Amino acid sequence: MNKRAMEFLPQDLQDAINTFVDQFVIMEEYNLDTIPSEYTVNLLETMKKYPEYNSVLLDLIEILNDGTI
């Protein structure tokens, strides 16, 4: 799996997304139940700096609160 953040995004947001995806891949490869929460927190904290992505941030928070992932 070689999913990467789009290059038009701010660099810190690209890094947070890519790191989160990398950890998700590791979780899948090693059949782990979760990824360390600091990667999710970092993604959300970075994303909240950019109001233009607020709807995506709120969707992610809703998904996390729902417990579907």
34-69 confidence digits (pLDDT tens): 999 999 999 999 999 999 999 999 999 999 898 765
Q: How confident is the model at residue 2 (pLDDT cuts 50, 70, 90)?
A: confident
Q: Is residue 5 part of a domain?
A: no
Residue 6 belongs to some domain of the structure: no
Closest-CA residue to 41 (of 26, 25, 22, 19): 19
Residue labelled with tokens 């701010």: 10
Q: Which domain holds residue 26?
A: 11-66
Assess if residue 33 is contained within a domain: yes
Q: Is residue 1 part of a domain?
A: no
Is residue 17 situated within a structural domain? Answer: yes
- State how many domains the chain has: 1
| pTM for this model (two decimals) | 0.86
Report how far apart, in Å, the C-alpha atoms of 32 and of each of 7, 8, 24, 59 are: 29, 32, 9, 24
In Å, how far are 14, 62, 68 from 4, measured between CA atoms?
8, 23, 22
- For residue 56, being part of any structural domain is answered with yes
Residue 46 lies in a domain: yes
- Whether 39 is covered by a domain: the verdict is yes
